[in-house]
């Protein structure tokens, strides 16, 4: 208080909502050193301050000036701010600050906020300069047809049924397990935070859902207890920061390991791995995929029927 008493305090030039009182800041109060001392000693009334701002600006766009998005997550918890634009403008590393600033500029423009063009890059004062148009030099690039398979390979697959190109491609992993895991994980997070989570928000980062560090710490413990998987708080803030990523991680961990059959199992596994190495096709142009039974197999293009493939019998 003594230090502030020696400073010429002035009234703010823009309206300010005080998180000390939760109401609009009076200009005389802003010039009182005792007010700033109370900012350090009294509870932060962030929620009431947000609601006060929304009473006057119901369609406001919120811009977070800090390096991360914690305050934006707290604003999203206010029911009246659910449909508003909440934009983070900073980054947590110096090399990402410029990109974060420009992304915030674009997000505000998408929200209907008119900003001066030079605000996106004030250091260079960039401006749009119209240039004369020109006709593009069009060039056509033709993909050569696949060469017919060697005779030896063709003879070996003459009796094999033809399959579509899509069937010959490697099978994509099933997403049924991921969807079930995502639903169970969403229920787990809802139990912890006490609020329902939108089913369409499985790809939204946890911070964007308004989940704080305490909630994610509890989630880490519950995941270990219910799923038997060790997932740290750091992972939930990093690589596994959404329900989709977390479900995919848990699904990958619970895939059954290949059965061992005595001493012959390693040799059999090595033989299978050698026969179905994508980098070593048995004949030029062969593609690795799965047959109708789901087993790995090699396929070559059918020269008589475009977009059809024949299975190689090894």
Per-residue pLDDT tens over the stretch 233-255 = 888 888 888 888 888 888 877 65
Residue 281: its pLDDT value, please? 76
Q: What is the pLDDT of residues 9-21, one digit of tens each?
A: 999 999 999 999 9
The answer to whether 22 and 45 have CB atoms below 8 angstroms apart is yes
Average pLDDT over residues 281-293: 76
CA–CA separation, 157 vs 155, rounded Å? Answer: 6
The answer to whether 203 and 181 have CB atoms below 8 angstroms apart is no
More confident residue, 220 or 147: 220
Residue 92: its pLDDT value, please? 82
Query: Tokens 């250091």 label which residue?
Result: 123
The answer to whether 303 and 311 have CB atoms below 8 angstroms apart is no
Beta strand pairing call for 296-301 and 287-290: antiparallel
Beta pairing partners, 297 = 289
Residue 195: its pLDDT value, please? 76
Closest CA to 101 of 90, 112, 87: 90
Average pLDDT over residues 23-46: 94
pLDDT at 168 over 70: no
pLDDT at 74 over 60: yes
Residue 44: its pLDDT value, please? 93
Average pLDDT over residues 207-224: 84
pLDDT at 70 over 90: no
pLDDT at 37 over 80: yes
Which of 14-28, 68-82, 152-166 bottoms out in mean pLDDT, i.e. has the lowest? 152-166
Average pLDDT over residues 208-224: 84
pLDDT at 194 over 90: no
Query: Tokens 């500029």 label which residue?
Result: 105
SS (H, E, C) 177-231: HHHHHHHHHHHHHHHHHCCCCCHHHCCCCCHHHCCCHHHHHHHHHHHHHHHCCCC
pLDDT at 128 over 60: yes
Residue 232: its pLDDT value, please? 87
pLDDT at 45 over 70: yes
Return the percentage of the chain with pLDDT > 90, whole number.
17
């Amino acid at each position: 208080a003594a230090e502030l008493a020696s400073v010429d305090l002035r009234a703010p030039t823009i309206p300010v909502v005080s998180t000390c009182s939760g109401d609009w800041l009076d200009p005389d109060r802003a010039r009182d050193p005792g007010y700033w001392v109370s900012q350090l000693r009294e509870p932060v009334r962030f929620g009431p301050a947000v609601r006060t701002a929304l009473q006057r600006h119901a369609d406001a766009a919120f811009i977070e000036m800090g390096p991360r998005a914690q305050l934006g997550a707290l604003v999203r918890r206010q029911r009246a701010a659910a449909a508003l634009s909440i934009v983070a403008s900073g980054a947590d590393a110096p090399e990402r600050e410029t990109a974060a600033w420009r992304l915030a500029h674009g997000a505000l423009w998408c929200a209907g906020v008119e900003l001066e063009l030079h605000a996106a890059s004030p250091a260079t004062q960039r401006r749009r300069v119209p240039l004369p148009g020109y006709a593009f030099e069009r060039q056509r690039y033709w993909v050569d047809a696949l060469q017919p398979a060697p005779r030896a390979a063709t003879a070996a697959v003459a009796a094999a049924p033809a399959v579509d190109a899509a069937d010959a491609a490697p099978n994509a992993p099933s997403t049924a397990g991921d969807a079930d895991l995502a639903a169970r994980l969403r229920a787990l997070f809802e139990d912890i935070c006490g609020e329902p989570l939108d089913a369409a928000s499985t790809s939204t980062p946890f911070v964007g859902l308004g989940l704080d560090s305490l909630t994610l710490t509890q989630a880490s413990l519950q995941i270990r207890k219910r799923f038997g998987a060790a997932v740290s708080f750091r992972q939930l803030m990093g690589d596994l920061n959404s329900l989709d990523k977390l479900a995919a991680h848990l699904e990958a961990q619970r895939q059954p390991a290949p059965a061992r059959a005595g001493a012959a199992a390693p040799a059999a596994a090595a033989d299978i791995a050698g026969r179905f190495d994508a980098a070593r096709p048995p004949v030029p142009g062969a593609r690795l995929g799965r047959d109708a039974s789901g087993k790995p197999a090699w396929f070559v293009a059918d020269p008589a029927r475009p977009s059809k493939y024949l299975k190689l019998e090894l």
